[in-house]
Every structure is written in C-alpha cells, then in structure tokens.
Amino acid sequence: MKKILLLILLCAGFATDEAFAQSKLITGKITTDKGDPVPFATVTVKNSKNGVASDAQGVFSIKATAGEVLVISSTGFTSKEITVGSDNNITVTLTQVSSELTTVVVTTALGIQRQAKDLGYATTTINNKTLTQAKSVNIQQALNGKISGVNISTVNSGVFENAKINIRGIRSLTGNNQPMLVVDGAPTPLGYLSSIPPDDVASLTVLKSAASAAIYGPDAVNGVIVITTKRGTNQQQPVVTFSSSLQATNVSFFPKFQKEFGAGAGETVDAYGNYLYVPYENQQYGPRFDGSIKDIGVPLEDGSIQSGPYTNDHYKDKVKFWNTGLTWQNSVSVAVKDMYVSFEDAKIKGLVPDDVNHRTSLRFNGGKDFGKLSVNYSLNYVLNNFDVVNEAGFQNSFPSAYDGGLFFLIMQTPSNVPLLQYKDLNSKFGQFSNYYNEFAVNPYWLIANIRTKGRSDNLIGNVTADYKLASWLKATVRLSSNLSFGSGKNTNAPVVVSDWAVANRNATQYSNRPGAELDYENSASVINFDYFLSGERDFAKDFSFKYVVGGSIRESRYKEVIAGGNNLLIPNFYNIGVRSGDAVVGANGISDYRLIGAYADLGFSYKGWASVGFTGRNDWDSRLVQENRSFFYPTVSAALVLSDAFPSLKNNNLLSYLKVFGNVSKSGNVNLAPYSLQVTYSQPAGFPYGNTGGFTTNNTYPNQNLKPEFVNGKEVGIELGFLKNRINLNATYFTQKNTNQVLQISQSWATGFPFGLANAADFKNYGVEGDITLSPLVNVGKGRIDFKMNATYNNNKVISTLNNSPVIIGGSAGFIQNSVGSPTINNIAVVGLPAFAFQMTDYLRDPMGRVIVDGVTGMPSLSPELVVKGRSLPLWVMGFTPSYSVGDFSISMTWEYKGGHDFYSGLGSDEDFAGISKRSIEYGRQRFVFPNSSVYVGPKNAAGIPTEEGMADPKNFVANTDIQVQDGNYGFWTGGSSNTLIATNYFSSAAAWRLREVNISYNLPLKWIGGGKFIKRITISAIGKNLLLIAPKSNQWGDPEFNYSTTGNTFGLGSSFQSPASRLYGGALTVQF
Amino acid sequence: MMKHFFFDKKLLLMIGLVLVLGSCRKSYLDINANPNLPTDENIVPELIFTQAAEATGAIHSPATWGFLDSWMGYIAANGDFARDQQQTSYNIDFSFSNGVWAAYYNTLFDLYQAKTKGLAKGDTAMAGAAMILSANLWQELVDAFGNIPYTDAFAVEGSPRPAYDEAKAIYESLQLTLDTAIEYMRTAPAPSFNFPATDIVNHGDQILWMKFANILKLRMLLRQSEVPGFDPSAELAKINNPENGGLPGPGESFSENPGYQNDVNKQNPTFASIGYTSAASPAKQSTSTGANIYITAILYSGLGGYGDPRTDRFWQLISGGVNANIYGDDPGNSYTGGSTSYYGPGLIGDPSNGVYTEGAKQDQWILPDYESLFMEAEAALRGWIDGDPQQLFETAVTRSFVFLKVPDAEVAAAAYIENTFFANWQQWQEWNGSSVESLADLIAIQKYIANCCIDPVESWNDEKRLNFLQLFSVEDTPLEYPIDQGFTYISANPSKISNTIPIRLLYPQSEYTTNSHVSDQGTINQFNSKLFWMP
C-alpha cells in the first residue's frame, strides 16, 4: 500500500516536474505600433515547448524564467524576441507587415499547428479583421476576391445568397468539387459555412492542395477551409463585444429592356398588317407608344375597364417592383478565462417582397488544462427560419400556364401598365379575377400565395482531449458531431376565380383550383471519431522529426420524409389531413455510409530551413464492394527556405525571404451516393392505384466494379519577401490529373438504361496562382497605403471519356421557362475541350459560318445539330484590395475580376418571347436583312430539299444583302427556329468586374469614450458590398454567375428563376467593453 | 531512445486500439444494401408486368402521339398559342422524336424484364402476355423509325451500343415471338400463378390474349400488302388455325385499367392529356388544341349532309356546332381556347352533373375491337381470311359507334352506313370502282374517322401505305357538306418545308450522342426515306 502511494506521488511529481523550476508568471499585452491590441498572437519560450496564445485583447500570461527569451509572433506581424527580466508585466509592440512568409503558424490538418516555412504546399490564412470588415452575412460572401486560387460564385441573389466554392478549379466532372470544411478540427458539412457568424471566427486557413489535406481523406481532395473559432482569454476579467450592422439591398444590374412598344401579338391587325394594341396581352409586339389614352385589360363584370396613357410611364415599375431589402445583424460575445460565448442574430429581407431569412446562433467554446490532460470543447447551435416565395411551386398551381418564375411574370408587363398599383390584391384591378393580363398571373398574387416556409436546427459540437504521453508524444482523441434537423412546408393557396372570370376569361389562368401543401422533415448527422498520436523530437543536433499516426471513423446518416396533399378541402388551411384523394408521398429515404481511415504523416527538418514530409492514408469506404473498398494514397512534399540556408541571401538589403516548395500527391475519392451499385425499381407516378402496385426499372445501370477516383497532383511554388518583407510575392503552379472519374454516362435507350455509371473519364486541371502584398505600398505622412492583389489562372482539359462520347453535366432539362419551349443548352464534357464547354442550339449555318436564310422569306432556321463552344468556369480570377489607414481611420476596398468564360441567360429567350427585350427592337420591329447571312443556291432533291453534298460546298451560298425577313416583328422575334429557340442568341461573355467590398471605419478616440475605462473601444463603419457589376456590352441580361441550380457542377446557366443582381450598403457599429 | 519508443505501454495501447477498431471493419462497412428501393434481389416480376401493361396503355394516349393527331388532321392549335414552328413546318429536328423513342424503349424494357423474370419462375402466361404487348410496341416503333436496335437491345453488359436490325427482319422475328406467346398461352395452366390478378388487360383470359396475338400478326401482314411479291400464306395458316385462338370479334377490345381514379397522376392517361385535371380545369393539351377543321368537315359530310352522329362524341359542341381551327394557321385568326371545341365525351367519357369526371376512371385503350374488325375486313377483302368483307366492315363501323357510346348505336350506325357514300359499300363502288384497292381505301377512310384522337398511329401508317386521304380532295368527290378551299390536313404554316407530312421520324438526338451504330443508317430524311413496306 505504501509503495503504491509512493508510486502515485512519484507520478504526480513527474507530471508537474516543471513546477520545480524557478519560473514566474509573466503577464503582458501585445499591441500594434498604433496601440491596437494584437489578438491571438503566439507567445513561446524560445527553445522550449512552452507556449500560449494571447486573447482577443492581446493579453497573455506565461510561465518563464528570468533570462529566457519570449518569442512573440502573429500573422501579419514581424515576430519579436524579448528577454525575461525582472518585470512581471510587459507590453510588446509588434510591427505590421502583412506578411504570410515569416515564422507564421498555420493550422493544418487535424488542427495541428505548423510553421508556415516548413510547409511544402500552399496555404492562405486570413484573420478575423479581414473577414468581417464588410460585415458580410456569411463567410463565403466575405471571402470573395481575397484568396488566390479560390473562386466563389454566387448563383442567386435571394435571401440565402447561395454560393458555389471551388478551390483551384475542379477535380471531378460530375461529383463533388466543393472544399471540405473543418471547424475547430472537426469535419463539418460545407453547408454550415453560411451559418457560422463571421464574428466568431478567429482565423480561417485555406489548404489549397490535396497534398496539404491528404490526411483528412477523400473529402479533402478539393481543398480544405479550416476555421478556428475564438476561444476564451487568459484573464478573469471578461471582454464583452457588441456589434451591430444594418445594410440595405437593392437591384444593381437589371436586364436591358425596350420602352417603346406596348402589348399585342397579332390578334388584331390594321389594313397593312401592322399589329394593333391588345389591352390584355402578355406579349409586347403591339404598336409604338403614342401617348393616347388606351384601355388596359378586359372589361370587367360591371362593364368598367381600366385605362391610361399609352406611354412608357411605368417602365420603372419593373425595377421598383423589387424591394429594398434589409440585412440586420446583431451580435454580442463574451470572452472570459477558458470560455467564449457568443450570440448572433441575422435577419435578411430580400429583394423579393416578403422574403425573409432569419438566423440565430449561439456558441459556447471552452477548454481546461488538467496537467498533462487538456480538454477543449465547442458547441454551436444555429437556428434558421425562412419564409420565401416558392417560384418552382408556381407551375403546380398553373400546370399549363407560361411557366417561369417571378421575374418572367414581371417582364410580361408592358410599360404602360401600372404594375405597382396591383400590389393590393383586394383592389379592383389587382384582384385575381380582374387582373389585366390574360396570360400571366399578377406577380403580387404569386408572392402572397405560393410560398415555402421552413426552419432548420443545427447543432455542431466537438470535444477534444489531448494527453501528453511524453514531451515528444501527445495522444489526441476527438469526437465531433453535426446534427441537423430541417423541416418545412410548401403551400399553394387555392385559386379562387369569380364566376364571371371563369365564364369569360382564359381557362388556363382563370379556373378555380384547390389549394395544395407539402411537408418535409429531414435529419442529418455526421459523427466523426478521430484518434491520433503526434509529436516532434530532435534527432541529432540539426535534425528534427515530426510525426502523426492515427485513424478516423466516420458515419454519415440522412433521413427524409416528404408528404403532402393536393385538393385541400378547407381554403387556406394547409394540412395533409384535410385533403381529398391520395396523399402525395415524396422521395422518402435513408442514406447512410461509413468510412474508416488510417494515416501516418512524417516530417523531417534540417536546421529549420529544409523540410520534407511524407503522408500516407488508407481508406475503407462502405459505398464500394468489398474488393474495391480499400484504397491507399501517398504524398511527398518538400520545402527549402533559401534565405535561411544562405545567410548571404537574407542579409542583403533587397531580399529578405526566399522559399521554394513542391509536392507530389495522390488522393482517392469515392464520388458516389450510397446504394449506387445495384439496379433499382420504383413505382412511377400514379402507382399504386388502390391495391394495384407496379414497378418500373430505374434508368441508371449501376456498375458493381466501380473504383475510387484518384487525383494525381503536383505543385511547385515560390515565396519571396523584399525590403524587409514590405513587398511579398508568392506564386504556385499546380497540375492535377484526375483519373477514374465516376460518371453517369448517357447510353442508348435501347439498352434499357439511358444512363450508366462507370469509371469513365480522365481530365487534367492546372494553373498558376499568386499573391502580391505591398505593405505598406507607401507611407503618406502618418497614414499608409497598403495594397494586396491575387490572381489565379486556371484551365483544364478533358483527356478521355467513355468511348470518347460527350458527357452532359446538366442543363436545360433541369429548368423550365415557358410553354412555347426554350433552347437546349447544357454544360458538357468533350474530349479535348475544357470542363465544361457549353452545348447548345444554333442557327443553320453555311460552311463559312454565315446564317443560311430562306431565299424567299429571308428567315433563318434552327440547325438540327447542337454546337459546342465556350467554357463555364473562369480562366482568370483576380482580386485587388487597396487600403488606406491613418490613425483610427481606415478605408479599404476589394475589386474582383473574373474572365475568360461564358454564360447563357434563359431570361433572354423569355424576354424575346414577351417582346420586352432590347434585342427585339434592334430593327425598330421592321423587316430587316439578317446580318451576316447567306442564301443557298445549290442543287436540291426531288422534295425540294438541299442535297447533303450541296450544303457542304461553299460555292453554293451567296451572301445575302437584300432579302429581308418576311416579318420583322412577332413572326421573327417569337419564332422558335428564327429566334427564341436559338441558344447562341443568349450566350455571351461572362467576364465581369465587381466592386465586392468597400469599408470605411473609424475608431472613436478613447478620450471621447471615457478613456477606455468602461468602454474600451467603439468602431463605426460604413460598408458596401457588390456595389458595382461591370459587364461587357454583349451581356444584356444579368449577373453572369447566376445559375439555375445551387448544387452540382453546372455553371453559367441562368434562367428566369433568379432575381436580379443586388448590392448592399449600410453601416456598422462595434462596441467593446 | 529507440527502445523507449517501441516499448512505451501507452503507445502499444493506442496501436492496439487502432488494430481493434480496424478488425471490426468488415461487418461495420456492410451497410450498402438499399433500404429505399427494391433491387433485383427482392423485386416481384408481377409488379413489373402490371406497370408495363399500364405504360403500354399510356403510350397510346395523346400524350405520346399528340403530334400525329395534328399531322393527321384531327386536332389543331387554337388561337391563344403561338404556332409550334417545328411541328407545323414539318421541319423536325433530332430531338423531336426523343419522347416517343424513350417512352417505347422504356416500356419495352420493363416488358422484357417481366418476360425474362417471369420465365425464370415458370410463369409462361405472364411471359407470353409481356411478349404480345411488346410485339405491339415493337411494330409501332419500326413503322415510325424503320431499322432500330432489336436483337442487341437490353443486353446492357454486352452491347452498351446496340446494333440496328433491318426493319423487315424485326417483323419476321416478331411473328416468331407471337407464335411462341400463343404457344405459352395455349399450354399454360389456367389460372397460371397469380396471372389473373396481375393481368390488368385481359384479366387472365388466355384465349383473349391469343386473339390479341393473332390480330397483331395480321396487322403486320396487312402493312406489307403493297410489297410486290409479298406472300403471307405461311403466317395466315397459323392465324387461321382455330387451335391458335382465332381473331378478336365484336366486343373484344384490348385495353388496360389498373384502377384509374380522378386524382392527380391517377387519371386515365387520355383523360389526363385531353380531358380535365382532377380539379376540373382543362388538361394541358386541351388548352392549346381542339378540333381540326379537316376532320370536322368530314364528320359534317356524313349521313346525307346531316352530320355524323359521332361528331358530338368526338367534340364538345359550342352553340350546336364544332368550332374548329386550321392546323398551322396564324395565331389570332381562328378560335381561341375558350371558343374552340374541346375533346368530346366519346373520348373522355360523359359528364356527370355537368362535370367531366367519369372519363378519369375509364379503361385506356390499346387496340379497340372496331380497329381489329377493320383489319379483318381488309384481310377478308384480300382473301386472306374467311368472312364477308362488307359485313366485317359494317360491323367495324357499328362497333366504332358503340365504342364512342353514340346513343342507340346500332340504329344510328345503320342509318349512317345507309346514307353516307364513304361508308356505304355499294355507293362507294359506284363512284370509285370495286377493285381491292378501292375498297381497301374505303376501309381505311372509315378506320381513319373511327380512330380520330384514338389511334392516329394506325391512320398515319394506313396513309403511308394506301395514300387514301387524297380521295377527299378529288374534285368530284360527292361530299355532302360544302367544303371550300383549304380542305386539307396539311399545315397552313407558310414556313412548312413540304406539302406532304413526314412519313417517318428521325432517330433521336440521344442515339446520335450515345450509339455510334445509328450512323450506319445513313442520312434519314423524314419525307423520302421510305419504310420497307411502303409503296
């Protein structure tokens, strides 16, 4: 017994052996040369493993012995060394260099911190200040234009600000290309990125290459966004921060439209065949506005009819229809010893009237050291509530109407029509049955009656325990979990039409219909269990050795139930229980998979300036059959800090830093939904009929032998610092060969399966990215101007596909415009072309590329073959951030340019159909000679059709200079084969300059706020986002980044379901106590 | 140092933990069996058959072949809608036929699955039924496209790009398939397995299935009537062998009904396409289309100028008449949606209390009895089967009246036959001669009228074979109704690229992008690339 007691004492003594040293507690504050605190700086005792971080106020405390040297470093500052003297309370001033090249610590895979100079791969870290300066409502909006290699596309301007993120282009043709998100070391679904309040983020690191992320396994193949949230401070006194911002939203880019012609579609014509005015038309091919008083709509039941001047007085109504939105964010956080608590509330009212998204977040981060054991945990609860118009549900209520979204309804409004007057749905002319338009519904009715309302509850939590087994070895276990519960209800109000309208108006619009509703509930959980050993150890005098070995287990589960009812029996009461007929049951399902990984990471470094690292990982994935389930992939990387290796380099006045690095990596990925290996059967719509069930074979032929995809990456880079790191440059060349791509390939219907799955394609993706930081660019008296710039050139090329057949990634089959038909347009992967090119309808052209017109009618025709051209992803993405600061005043802005790519606007075709487009008045609605056209004069067969040989011979075509189209009005512009079905008409450059952010902020002088005793700091700022969008003239339609789908790999396919592009501007206030 | 490294107990513990977690890997990862959908391991083939039989019916609704209703002069777009440029100009592109191609192969594959899985468990009756339904679809596909993938079809592992078979060879193979199916039906014990409950077409009546097979065999023979030197005798011997079940008689229509109801997605497919929604508003196709002036004029010309009693069964009258539009006409110059005559109760069922709901529950036709009888009349006319062609013809016309539920159908039909020169065997012969060709045209004309919006495919194929519709445009045609100029089913669209309708469809875009064998078929022209049986 005594012996045991002795043993325990001995152990305890071991555990606290450092307590025997004559150390003392030193507290200090780290500030910038301007006196601002430097939060989260690293303070270490030189040549020891003893280190702490400063808190949000720059305050730290550390145990050290007199004579020891403290090294203080922080991202963006030159590090400083201070010898511990007698003073127990010190103030350290750091000089800002905005350099990421010096001894910066980067949070890498698994949350392990590494010195940036040791890394053989490219990373970018940005701090909280950069992230929050424009008070963006979510992180992806805040990252725009700031990081080389990162392309963020905002695909709609709605209240969700949906965005797609790609780091260094794409690595999978049809699978996931979005990066992995890691929050506080825990893998987290990327969707949370829009839920994490930017204020909670301490730092954000982007690991751009597979080499940097291989340890995370398959999900990291597209890069990783590593977020470290704020932690507690080291002092007892709490720091309270309150922040509030208010931003208004309005339309920043509206499609070009004509203001000269009113309604008419040829129902009535004059003696010369000119189209007369039709007061209830949705198509604007009527006569020119002439100022006379004209009817609007149809005579109502009481015989009255609305009338007004036939002018373009109300053209602005189409822009004014969109609301001034409002984004209001309030947050409060408390940082205290070992604990950080924050509460955030963001309310977003969109451009679309009545659309609202409301987010509330509560975070609780904490940690505690217990000798060798330390435990950290964080818990984040996010509640989202939204209530938005359900444009996609519109066609359920009007199945045969001119389908399309809200935008299309607005564009079907002639400019003499006082659209805004119809806002009151009870007013005489605003009520449903009396609406002027015979073929389009009052857009205000759509907003009020077809809605979706939902909420999601998200709980993200993780707990990490570290145990120091020895000075050179630490054991870590981390359990993290993301739970998400979503629920919502779509409601379609009954269409109630007066008896008079039923009897007298167009049945498509004016028929009574019962209400409908659809409920959904889903739950998702991802549970990760990571366990690893890590540490570092000096080998011999100059060698050090770092190592990680461990494993992870992940289980992802998803379940959804969808049920609803049509034919609701009680008006405006939306419950599945009050329907008649069968219930609607949606795609209910479960989707579970499991992944086990084992990995090791070894790094050697010599004298701190040469390092080499090896990583290997093996995965076992439940989504593949047993034989293919296990796959291994290695990585090797190296870095050389030449400026440290050759002191002669470092000590010259010009060059202060020079590093070269490179890596070769392979990483595997399973881009496959669970249960994809078997032929499945399902009941088609309608079944079961009572007791009679029936199943059809589903359309995809699966492949049992599917294997993982592999990304074979190479990367070389250089980092340079000049003039004591006032000028920093870095550049990285990367190339990735992506093999064994799992594709859903189209195959002949005659096989029974129009789609098949196969490891069927290879493509390469390559580019150069770089950053330039000039800090300061120039000093102006007390002020300074800084300048940052980043640029990415990224290209790719499809090397092979199965049988070299083109692969359609997505497109017009996925969206509906109007009932007359819309052009065929797809994103497509074609061997030899970039991923992705566009495939689309075009005019029939002669061998010289001129449009062939009919020799009599002058009309062009639709080519039976689709053309392939353009590219969907930008070749160039560039960001420019100049800033100026003087004293407590600072101003900064971020410009962004993307170019080299193209986009298609479905709204363009819809605009032409409606006769509202600027294009449609290019020839004053008169007959014209189709530009750059020709006429066929060659041989024809017995049926009068040009022969194939004839069509191939350029000699058979003569330039058309005088044959006008037979109808330069409705006939041409709404004709499918002459105009609206020709996708090339609505295809243009997607290049754009954007002023992404402007921030002007001012810290109130301390003397104004009582010398900082109670209130420590007040910052006020004016902010603007997406203030300008400058697009080439060829783009008449809208934001080229908008896309019909927020998921998947399609880009540059806009439709009329997206709202116009928007800008935000407003102000913010931050108070710190 | 290294010694310490290897013998650290805690390290060993951790490594042990990794190994333990790793070793339970196998069963832990076996969670990929689909919990959401049936797979080959658990699907019940009867369920596939029932669905495929329903799909075979649905394929014969205007949802699939609505464009043929337009091309054949049955329906026309109303003035509310912009002219469908592609359809009305006959300038069809490769995507025009995507829907037909996909629907047919999709259904044929399910029938193939029902056949193979049925045979695997010995259910020859169900397999035979699947073969008969598929022979029906295969023939229609061949008649529309010519050579198509057939032998290689549905062998996805071996032939992801199936080769094309000669149309004629497919016809021959289908005769053999039908012979086998008849044999299955003849020898399978009744009731066989669960077949009577599964069979939503003939409810397990195996004799009726044999008759269905025989009429399909006869239909293929008739299609080849104009092929020089064609000898149908070998197949006729089998059709005429009473052991094989014989041909369908009056009242023996082939249709299906899984239990249609008046609810979203659960309506009879024809009603869903040209009738009304479950909320009693006009269905999609009926809002954009309605009566064509061509068929209307023909209907008005029947029965001594008093009109065909079927007129108000095909169309809903407005102010006592049919408001019909000209196909391919300019929008705005004809009747709008609200004033165009909609599809009538013969097609979509009679209204109850003024609301059209009953048709939502009606059986979906696949091959109505009158159509079989018209074919039998022509076969008798050609001396291929026993029977009096005139009597079969008149029975067929009468059954059309019955099919459309004309009140007092037999009497009305008798009066119609008596008084309408293009329904009267004798009057027709006086005007057009008594040759087989002349009387075949008469049969085709009546079949054409009876098939209005029911089977435009048969009308199209008859026109391709016999070119009979031009008889209505002959100047001295003794039509009773004063038909003025423009009496044609040809589109009025000035941009049309031919004055004749297409005789075939182009292979769909999807074949050109997925199946290199389609290029072996050379360039297809929709007007002059003739099918093997066309004169």
Taking contacts as CB-CB distances below 8 angstroms, the residues of chain B near A512 are 279-281
Chain A contact set for B101 (CB, 8 A): 749
Preferred mutation among B32, B91, B106 to probe A, highest tally of A CBs within 10 A: B32
Cα B252 from Cα A280, distance rounded (Å): 51
Residue B160 is nearest to which of A751, A943, A974, comparing CB atoms?
A751
C-alpha gyration radius of chain B: 27
Q: Which residues 6+ apart lie within 8 Å of B249 measured at CB? A: B369, B373
A144 contact partners, CB below 8 Å, separation of at least 6: A152, A154, A879, A894, A896, A994, A996, A997
A353 and A447 in contact (C-beta within 8 Å)?
Answer: yes
pLDDT at residue A403, as a whole number: 62
Looking at the predicted structure, is the pLDDT value of residue A4 above 50? no
Give the Å distances, CA to CA, from A923 to A193, A897, A968, A972, B138.
49, 34, 8, 11, 51
Contact state of A581 with B264 under an 8 Å Cβ cutoff: yes
The pLDDT of A372-379, averaged and rounded, is: 93
pLDDT-derived band at B7 (thresholds 50, 70, 90) equals very low
Say yes or no for a CB contact (<8 Å) between B160 and A749: no
The interface residues of chain A toward chain B in range 789-808, judged by CB-CB distance below 8 A, are 803, 805-806
Query: Å from B336 to nearest chain A CA?
Result: 9
Distance (Å) from the alpha carbon of A772 to chain B's nearest alpha carbon: 45
Instruction: List pLDDT tens digits, range B49-99.
Output: 999 999 999 999 999 999 999 999 999 988 776 677 788 889 888 888 889
Phi first, then psi, for residue A375 (nearest 5°) are -125, 130
pLDDT > 70? residue A406: yes
> Looking at the DSSP assignment, which residues form a beta bridge with residue A80?
A72
What element of type H or E holds A202?
Answer: strand A201-207
Residues 510-569 of A with CB under 8 A from B: 511-514, 531, 533, 550-551, 553, 566-567
Distance of CA A902 to the CA centre of its chain: 18
Asked whether the beta carbons of B356 and B348 are under 8 A apart, the reply is: yes
**pLDDT confidence of residue A461:** 93
CA distance B387 to chain A (A): 40
Per-residue confidence (pLDDT) for residue A982, from 0 to 100: 92
Beta strand A589-606 with A543-565: parallel, antiparallel or unpaired? antiparallel
Distance from CA of A544 to the nearest CA of B (A): 14
Task: Give the per-residue pLDDT at B431.
Answer: 87
Residue A824 with chain B: CB contacts under 8 Å: 95
pLDDT at A80: 81
| Most A CBs within 10 Å, among B42, B134, B264, B340, to test the A interface | B264
Q: What value does the mean pLDDT take over residues A376-382?
A: 93
Exposed / middle / buried, residue B478 (Cβ in 10 Å: 0-12, 13-18, 19+): exposed
Measured between beta carbons, the chain A residues lying within 8 angstroms of B102 are 749, 754
Instruction: Show which of residues 910-949 on chain A sit within 8 Å of chain B, judged by CB atoms.
Output: 941-945, 948
Lowest mean pLDDT segment, chosen from A841-855, A919-933, B224-238, B479-493:
B479-493
Looking at the partner chain, which of B32, B511, B523 has a beta carbon nearest the beta carbon of A748?
Answer: B511
Contact A750 B278 (CB under 8 A): no
Record the pTM. Answer: 0.82
The band of A608, judged by pLDDT with boundaries at 50, 70 and 90, is confident
Which residues 808-827 in chain A show a CB within 8 A of chain B? 819-821, 824
* Token pair 């199946």 in the structure block, residue: B515
Rounded Cα distance between A957 and A844, Å, is 13
- Å between B437 CA and nearest CA of chain A: 26
Rounded to the nearest angstrom, the minimum Cα separation between A842 and chain B is 12
User: CA of B162, closest CA in chain A: separation in Å?
Assistant: 7
Q: What is the pLDDT of residues A945-972, one digit of tens each?
A: 788 889 999 999 999 999 999 889 988 9
Structure tokens given for B448: 């054409």
Count of pairs with CB atoms under 8 A, one residue in A, one in B: 289
Q: Give the closest-approach CA distance of A923 to chain B in angstroms.
A: 22
- Asked if the Cβ–Cβ distance from A751 to B94 is below 8 Å, we say no
Contacts of B475-478 spanning 24+ positions with Cβ under 8 A: B478/B421, B478/B431
Residues in A closer than 8 angstroms to B47, CB to CB, are 681, 693-695
Query: What type of residue is B153?
Result: A
Closest alpha carbon within chain A to B262: A581
pLDDT of A421 = 95
Tokens of B130: 């699947």
Residue range A78-97, pLDDT digits in tens: 778 888 877 788 878 787 65
Give residues with Cβ within 8 angstroms of B7, minimum separation 6.
none
Residue B181 CA: distances (Å) to CA of A93, A151, B150, B167, B201: 94, 61, 18, 21, 15
DSSP assignment string, B384-405: SSSS-HHHHHHHHHHHHHHHTT
Q: Could you report the per-residue pLDDT of B464-474, keeping only the tens digit for each? A: 999 998 888 77
C-alpha span between B108 and B120 (Å, rounded): 18
pLDDT of A164 over the 70 cut: yes
d(CA A42, CA B375): 93
Helices B98-120/B124-145 angle, 10° precision = 160
Cβ contact, residue pair B161, A747, below 8 Å: yes
- A836: preceding bond cis by omega (within 30 degrees): yes
Q: Residue B448 and residue B459: Cα distance in Å, rounded?
A: 5
Q: Which of B513, B516, B517 to mutate to test the interface with A (most CBs of A within 10 A)?
A: B513
Q: How many CB atoms lie within 10 A of CB B8?
A: 16
pLDDT tier for residue A35 given thresholds of 50, 70 and 90:
low
Among the listed residues B520, B525, B521, the one whose alpha carbon sits nearest the alpha carbon of residue B503:
B525
User: In a 10 Å sphere around its CB, with 0-12 CB exposed, 13-18 middle and 19+ buried, how is residue A735 labelled?
Assistant: middle
Whether the per-residue pLDDT at A132 is higher than 50: the answer is yes
Q: Which of A217, A215, A192 is nearest to A594 (CA)?
A: A217
Cα B483 to Cα A363: distance, rounded to the nearest angstrom? 82
> Is the minimum CB–CB distance between A266 and chain B shorter than 8 Å?
yes
Distance from the Cα of B289 to chain A's closest Cα (Å) equals: 12
Say if the Cβ atoms of B32 and A508 lie within 8 Å.
no
Structure tokens at A140: 């992806």
* Mean pLDDT computed over every residue of chain B: 89
CB atoms < 10 A from the CB of A455, how many?
14
The Cα–Cα gap between A286 and A263 comes to: 5
Closest CA to B63 of B251, B343, B250: B343
Rounded average pLDDT over A245-254: 91
Secondary structure (DSSP) of B175-186:
HHHHHHHHHHHH
Strands (E), A642-782: 655-669, 681-682, 696-697, 700-701, 709-722, 727-746, 755-780
Helical ranges in A139-284 per DSSP H: 139-143, 210-213
pLDDT tens track for A425-441: 999 999 999 999 988 89
Pairing verdict, β A80-83 and A69-73: antiparallel
Enumerate residues 443 to 502 of chain A having a beta carbon within 8 A of any beta carbon in chain B: 469-470, 473, 475
Segment A788-814 shows an average pLDDT of 85
A407 Cβ under 8 Å from any chain B Cβ: no
The pLDDT of residue B304: 67
For A:11-40, CB contacts with B below 8 A are none
Taking the alpha carbons of B333, B335, B337, B342 in that order, is the dihedral positive or negative?
negative
Q: How confident is the model at residue B2 (pLDDT cuts 50, 70, 90)?
A: very low
Q: What is the mean pLDDT of residues A377-390?
A: 94
Mean pLDDT on B399-416: 96
User: At residue B509, does pLDDT exceed 90?
Assistant: no
- Please give the mean pLDDT across all residues of chain A: 87
| Distance (Å, whole) CA A768 – CA A84 | 45
Alpha-carbon span A1027 to A1042, nearest angstrom: 17
Measured between beta carbons, the chain A residues lying within 8 angstroms of B82 are 265, 820, 974
Distances (CA, A) of B143 to B239, B348, B352, B503: 22, 27, 39, 9
Which of A471, A511, A697 should one mutate to test binding to chain B, selecting the residue with the greatest count of B CBs within 10 A?
A697
* Per-residue confidence (pLDDT) for residue B505, from 0 to 100: 95
The answer to whether A802 and A829 have CB atoms below 8 angstroms apart is no
pLDDT at A20 over 60: no
User: Rounded CA gap, B126 and B139, in Å?
Assistant: 20
Best A595, A626, A695, A977 residue to mutate vs chain B (most B CBs within 10 Å): A695
Cβ of A820 within 8 Å of Cβ of B79? The answer is no
* pLDDT over 70 (residue B6): no
CA–CA separation, A150 vs A634, rounded Å? 25
> Mutate which of A748, A826, A981 to disrupt the B interface (most B C-beta within 10 Å)?
A748
Nearest to A535 by CA among A110, A898, A852: A110
Residue of B nearest to A618 (CA): B22
Start-to-end C-alpha separation, chain A = 55
Query: Average pLDDT, stretch A153-177?
Result: 84
A681 with B288: Cβ contact below 8 A: no
Q: Report in angstroms the alpha-carbon separations of A803 from A677, A799, A962, A1052.
A: 22, 12, 46, 27
Q: CA–CA distance from B210 to each of A906, B113, B239 (Å)?
A: 53, 21, 10
Cβ <8 Å between B113 and A697: yes
| Degrees to nearest 5, angle at CA A758 with A755 and A761 | 110
Residue of B nearest to A696 (CA): B48
* Nearest chain A CA: its distance from B78 CA (Å): 12
Interface test with B, best of A557, A751, A913, A967 (most B CBs within 10 A): A751
Structure confidence by residue, pLDDT tens digits, A493-514: 999 999 999 888 887 788 888 8
Confidence class for position B206, pLDDT limits 50, 70, 90? very high
Per DSSP, B508 falls in state P
Look up residue B143 and give its amino acid. Answer: D
DSSP characters over B21-37: HHHTHHHHH---S-SSS
Q: Are strands A1053-1054 and A902-905 parallel, antiparallel or unpaired?
A: parallel
Q: Which residues pair with A475 in a beta bridge?
A: A467, A533
More confident residue, A103 or A890: A890
Please say if the pLDDT value at position A161 is more than 80.
no
For the residues A776-793, what does the mean pLDDT come to?
Answer: 88
